[in-house]
Structure 1
Amino acid sequence: MRKVLVIGYVWPEPRSSAAGSRMLELLGVFRSQGWQVTFASAAALSSHRADLTDLEIEEVAVALNCDSFDAYVAGQQPDLVLFDRFFTEEQFGWRVERAWPAALRVLDTSDLHCLRDARHALHKANQQSRSSEAQRHQVGPALATRDELYAAMAGADMAQREVASIYRCDLTLMISEFEMQLLQEQFGVPAALLHDCALMLIPPTLSEVPFSDRQHFLSIGNFRHAPNWDAVLWLKHALWPLIRARLPQAQLHVYGAYPPPKATALHNPKQGFHVLGWVDDAHRVMAQARVCLAPLRFGAGIKGKLADAMACGTPSVTTTIGSEGMHGAHPWPGAVVDDAQAFADAAVTLHEDSAAWSQAHANAAPLLQQRFDRPRLASELVNRLERLLASREQHRQLNFVGAMLRHHQHKSTQYMSQWIAAKNARDN
């Protein structure tokens, strides 16, 4: 029986974020193979966390900068260690290698953080170039070519850290083909270190709630995720007024985990703008909505809200960044637009025109089948991991850059962590 240790940046919250759904899906794939899975995290427990005991997964709380983790890993002797995002690999990767070097080290990026960070910086620069607050609210998505993105990313601390983490691991799971191309063509990361794995926790059957039984616009997303909060601001100040000018009785329901006071302050029923916050069942409210709005001006990865919209048969209006890596040559089940007026026009058409809505609805099923087929993606992942487990040493010999980066990381991150551990022991 394979033994898998997953080290989580946070405890998985599948009802709060796409990252939580993805982690739960990965855990389910490992358990479906009969593998013994342990989930460890140094994060605080949360009220929205999944109960992993339902999957017969052991939960272990671990400490940062503490040698007790090394002893734990050596005792577990896992075949595979999965790091949830590169921050976790930075903290624990060198400890895993030192305590149990035989373990296959796998990184799940969730999305490419350095890409999201670069686009956020570009978006801020675009806004700051405007002379008034009103003009800043009208700024569209931070669009850039891969070469332009590389120019913005190459010198950034975030990109250097994340790409170094990718090299240090035996394999990195990627969620977006755009990001894989960026890493290979612009950053020169070998294809042997990457695996296309678009697994998401998507309902297996498409919702068939008809156009006539649905109502209202919907927007959803964890408020702690910067692209989601920015999308709400763009909706509030620029997009929703354009939609309401055409549809004076229209209602927008904005859902999402962890809404801060600045978000709930935007709630205005007279304007049809309802900030409703947490919802227990996102798929239920998505299947009742007529149109999903996801005006993302920056970000990365695959957008869980849009995958959910497809699964619920709900047409969506999003941006080029929102749809990135999700549909390939398939028609989008809704509209992809980057201009504010065009966004509003597309939203109104899908809300009012049953024929346009039905065509968008019909586009969802084949896209889900081709791009997010769970059995195929799970089988490909398991097969890739088994091949690497069988040829681990040969694979590592071909990754000299990774070995070099691990060597130098041990001279910095490791010694800093050991200094903190020693200081904590002395203070206690």
Structure 2
Amino acid sequence: MSSYAAVLRTPHACRAFAVGLLGRLSYGVVPLALVLAVKEGSGSYAVAGSVMALFGVSGVLLSPVRAGLVDRYGPRRALVPMAGGYAALLVVIAGVCLRGGASGVELCVLAGAAGTCTPPLGPTMRALWSELLPDRRMLETAYSLDGVCEELLFVGGPLLVGALVQYAHPATAIALGAALVLAGTVGMTGSPAVRGMGGGEQAERDGARGAWGAPWRPALVAAGVGVGLGGVDLLVIAFADGQGRPSVVPWLLAALSVGSTVGGLVNGAVRWGGSARGRLAPLAAGLAGALALAGFVPDPYLMAVALALAGLFVAPALTTAYLYADELATPGTRTRAGAWVNTAVNAGSSGSSAAVGLVLGQLPLALCFVLAGVPALGSALAVRASRGARAGVPRPESVTRVDPREPRSTAGR
């Protein structure tokens, strides 16, 4: 715990992190609220599915582009307009749903536009950690804390929506998501820690050298992890149905989340040796092995254990992928590099959900579990075998922290 306390004692870091999490809670609230509100407002599951698809695709695929704007212009100039547009569009969607009889085309256009404006608060916060914590060990602890908190937000967000819709129209939850992201973004960009972050000639030079700034190795492993995670929901539902106990599904998925939380906390507290790249492959392979094991367990109790074991690898693998991407990034592409990893996870998860839906029932369930882990194992082997990666400038084990209130130099990084 002393490691986490040391990270949070970094001047201005706790404030920026806390208000940033407030804004990121919106990303746990809005998806479920959007589905419920659109279904109620349009009366159509097909419209709700189309709206969510456009919202998700525009949000995920354009994330590196938006992150590049943060790198080039800085969080204060880039994030606030994005958050303002995102929040405004969410409020319009909420109003349309409240009105009832909403046009599917109208809702799809609004949802696609809202996804396009989604501010990359997570990648920006990870880039900010990198600015505040030149010490590599402290940075890894910060990334672990960030990942665990983000996971809790995605668990707590739907619970908050579920409680709210008991007393109000689901569109109210969309409006809440708009308020959260706007308040969190303004609070985060108003922190002294953000002053001087991003923008300037360095960012323009880095952007010119690599317009997309894609760190393919960590992104590849992140995509493999996303594939494994994306298929778990359907696989667990199929397992529970086969056992005749559909009520255990929430508990089994909770076991995965608990395992991930524990794994993330341990990962951030332990002083690991070696490079992030060296640890990334074993973590992804461990996830693949745990998913394969889950396919052969005979009852829900052992399935919960197997999923908790798989979860132990999830948060550490993603944290290490973000750390590796940060090592590969230049000072002017840090936010974008993290956004590519985030995009890879979400893209892998979405693609896996569709693929598992197609093969489930056509293949034995045990084989489906094994196949869900194959991309994670394959990406791990590919990264392990790859050579010639630009390692970036290694971080010192311990250096004097730069005061965020003073102008930052990019020398030595």
- Normalised by the length of structure 2, the TM-score is 0.27
Which is greater in Rg?
Answer: 1
Bigger proportion of residues as strand: 1
Pick 1 or 2: higher relative contact order, CA cutoff 8 A, min separation 6: 2
- Normalised by the length of structure 1, the TM-score is 0.26
